[in-house]
Amino acid sequence: MQRIRLRYTKRGRLRFTSHRDFQRAFERALRRAEVPMAYSAGFTPHPKVSYANAAPTGTGSEAEYLEIQLTEARDPETLRTLLNESLPDGLDITDAVEARTSGLADRLQASVWEIRLDRVAPADAERAVAAFLEAETVEVERRTKNGMRTFDARAAVAHLEASAGRGDRPGDGGCAILRLVVRHLTPAVRPDDVLSGLRATADLAPPVPAAVTRLAQGLLDEESGTVTDPLAPDREAVQAAPPTAAELTAAVAAPEGSA
């Protein structure tokens, strides 16, 4: 049995798809690409796909991750190409690597988010960010399936800064860009929770909905505040290990003179 880890995106209108919608689209792509999936046991077998920390509905993402289990070995890059041919534009597989290590979910310690605030002056955003960071705690409320819940949004924020952006159209007014690094704690703190915290601490209320995109997720370097690639350990392990049967087969089948 072979395990392949994939990084994929949610772009454009596809950011409004729910996680369940993505699951259906991805499983259709697996069938169309004739991927030799391993299936669970029982009366209703399901393909063995493990999803890790999916972004909330309505947010874009450049860094979503999942893992699939195969009954036959396949070249990860070839598999990536076949799946992209079967997925709708906006749901794109950008990286694929054979899993040679354990604990992918454990390496997803933090996320880097970009929050675009149209018609918000950068100076106002900078003042709000300063007030948020100076606070020891910032309590926010969120409705859950068990009712309203209050929690601290400040503790999860490892880094937050504001900068000036460019408006989509002339005359739109100012545009502020927030760059945010959030630790994955329990309860999970989402970008909209941080926006609620900015409203609570500095009365920052964007006149139009914010555009939110996850840029990265992975291991958090607390000293530098950077988030590293969670697939790097697998990539390094693949390079250090002897070639697998699938890699040898692919090398033999490659056209003469190809790289």
Q: Is 13 helix (H, G, I), strand (E, B) or coil?
A: helix
Quick count: other Cβ atoms within 10 Å of Cβ 41? 6
Cross-strand partners of 236: none
- Both 222 and 113 in one domain: the answer is yes
d(CA 254, CA 250): 6
- Both 100 and 113 in one domain: the answer is no
Which tokens go with 97?
A: 């690597």
- Both 49 and 86 in one domain: the answer is yes
pLDDT of residue 172: 59
pLDDT of residue 169: 54
d(CA 259, CA 65): 28
Spell 91-126 as b/e; 16+ CB within 10 A means b: bbbebbbbbbbeebeebbbbbbbbbbbbebebebbb
Asked which of 66, 90, 106 is the last residue of a domain, the reply is 106
Task: Tell me whether residue 191 is in a domain.
Answer: yes
pLDDT of residue 258: 46
At 37, phi and psi to the nearest 5? Answer: -75, 145
Q: Supply the CATH number for residue 91's domain.
A: 3.30.70.580
Asked which of 106, 132, 159 is the last residue of a domain, the reply is 106
Write the CB contacts of 59 (distance below 8 Å, at least 6 apart in sequence): 10, 15, 191, 212, 213, 214
Nearest alpha carbon to residue 87 among 32, 48, 39: 32
Range of the domain at 155: 109-227
Task: Tell me whether residue 88 is in a domain.
Answer: yes
Tell me the pLDDT of the chain (259 aa) as tens digits. 899 999 999 999 999 999 999 999 999 999 999 999 999 988 889 999 999 999 999 999 999 999 999 999 999 999 999 999 999 999 999 999 999 998 899 999 999 999 999 999 999 999 999 999 999 999 999 887 788 889 999 999 999 999 998 765 555 567 999 999 999 998 899 999 999 999 999 999 999 999 999 999 999 998 888 999 999 999 999 888 766 555 565 555 555 554 4
What is the number of domains present in the chain? 2
Task: Tell me whether residue 62 is in a domain.
Answer: yes
- Both 123 and 223 in one domain: the answer is yes
Nearest alpha carbon to residue 33 among 22, 44, 45, 25: 25
Torsion sign (Cα): 191, 197, 199, 201: negative
Which tokens go with 92?
A: 């794109």
Radius of gyration of the chain (CA): 21
